[in-house]
Amino acid sequence: MWAMIVKEFRELRRDRRTLVMMIVLPVLLLVVLGYAASFNVSSIPVAVAGPGTSTFRLPAPFTEVSSAQAAGRGWAENQLRDGHAAVAVVTARSAAPAVLIDGSQLFTAQAAISALEKLRSAAATGQPVSAAPRVTVLYNPKLSTSDVMIPGLAGVVLVFIGTIITSLGVVRERQSGTLEQLAVMPLRPRDVFLGKIVPYFAVAAIDLAIVLTVGISVFGVPFRGSALVFGLGALLFLFVTLGIGVLISTVSQNQGQAIQLAVMTMLPQVLLSGLIFPLSSIAAGVRWIAYLLPLTYFNEISRGVMLRAEPIGPLWQPFLLLAVLGLIIVTLAILRFRRDLAPAPAHRRRLNRRPGGGAAGPAADRPIGPAPDLAAATDTGQLT
């Protein structure tokens, strides 16, 4: 038994990736969740419109980010729709101000409603506060969790297929020995890359359609925007996730390593992309990781299109960043493919050299075939 224990410890020590997963990943999750696992919203961006912009102020945690004295309700709604603010205030000279809240930002909306309730309570006790505003929740009036989660869960499905399932592709080729066959075929690395991702792309598109159909028909999630804009965002996002999966498969030696790396890239996207915890509540030391994750930008696109009917113009930044991420990741994956599919020249150069550095002898250059004496014996009939 002691020999078996020693053997397992030695194997574990040699498998450095598993050892890193067992030691580093729990610490990483503890640090990330310790800073990110918070539903508290410390700052709520506010846009103010109307003639009273210079005198009307909401106390903390509201923070004014834009104002337009000559604008009205239309401008305020556009500020919410385009994601420039989470709360918009429309002031008037002879009436109480109207407060519009973006319900698609669920936790921020709940924090805003709670802060406004405190203002009403203060006004009821006679404390000197501004006039009690009229509150209207837009885009998600019931503050339904499913309306906010399902657009993001559609992205999680794409991450699962694009990263975990696709990452097993080249690993299966390597373990089954067919990667060497691809190396001798007249295929360019980008041809192999595209051939690998197209089937998974089709499966992921079908799964995305199923998730959206179930979310709309069963959970009543609205789809107010353009299907074309949403499809373009899903196309870019899926291209990035498939590239990540293929890149993982090129640096993994077996399926276990591929799954480990895929999980390590998937967990931060689920936890730090704004799907569960609001980005504004994540500490700045961890929040920068969220801006490197493609799911962060797909969440902005899916919620903006489905809930707020946001056009492509205000969404140019997440579209551009997804395109840049896709270009970088796909380029790295193709370069890795080129290295895996074209190892022969360097390998042959090593084999064709003697240990001392000189060229190989005549035996190395001899054509493959029967030995000379065997061939002669066959021709003269001496071989029976």
**Residue 57, token pair as written in the block:** 């102020």
3-state secondary structure of 273: coil
Identify the helix (H) or strand (E) that includes residue 65.
Answer: strand 62-68
pLDDT value at residue 313 = 92
What pLDDT was estimated at residue 85? Answer: 92
Cα end-to-end distance, the chain, whole Å: 58
pLDDT for the residue numbered 131: 56
- Which residues, in sequence order, are bridge partners of residue 137? 101
DSSP conformation class of 164: I
The DSSP element (H or E) to which 90 belongs, if any, is strand 87-90
Nearest by Cα to 310 from 102, 142, 155, 67: 102
What separation in angstroms does the CA of 110 have from each of 41, 139, 278? Answer: 9, 14, 12
Q: Where are the domains of the chain?
A: 2-27, 44-138, 145-344
Two structure tokens written together for 311? 């056009």
Residues 155, 168, 12, 339: what is their CA dihedral angle, to the nearest 10 degrees?
-110
Question: How many Å apart are CA 94 and CA 117, to the nearest integer?
Answer: 22
171 closest CA partner among 250, 265, 260:
250
Question: What are the two backbone dihedrals, phi and then psi, of residue 33, each rounded to the nearest 5 degrees?
Answer: -70, -30
Q: What is the pLDDT of residue 257?
A: 79
For residue 126, the model assigns a pLDDT of 57
For 367, left (φ over 0), alpha (ψ -120 to 50), or beta?
A: beta
Q: What is the pLDDT of residue 53?
A: 73
Q: Which residue has the tokens 């991420």?
A: 325
Long-range CB pairs of 175-182, under 8 A, 24+ apart, other chains included: 175/254, 175/255, 179/340, 179/341, 182/341
| pLDDT given for residue 87 in this prediction | 93
Residue 309, pLDDT score: 93
Q: What is the pLDDT, as a whole number, of residue 341?
A: 60
- CA–CA distance, 314 with 304 (Å, rounded to integer): 10
Please report the sign of the dihedral spanned by the C-alpha atoms of residue 314, residue 315, residue 321, residue 326. Answer: negative
Note whether 354 and 360 are within 8 A (CB): yes
**Residue 187's CB: how many other CB atoms inside 10 A?**
14
The whole-number pLDDT of residue 4 equals 80
228-272 tens-digit pLDDT = 999 999 999 998 998 898 888 888 877 887 888 888 888 888 888
* Residue 281 per-residue DSSP state: G
Question: Given CA atoms 68, 71, 76, 81 in this order, what sign does their dihedral have?
Answer: negative
Q: Which residues pair with 353 in a beta bridge?
A: 359
| 152: phi then psi, degrees, rounded to nearest 5 | -75, -35
Indicate the burial class of 221 (C-beta count within 10 angstroms; 0-12, 13-18, 19 or more). buried
pLDDT lower than 50: segments of the chain: 343-349, 351-384
DSSP-derived letter for residue 361 is -
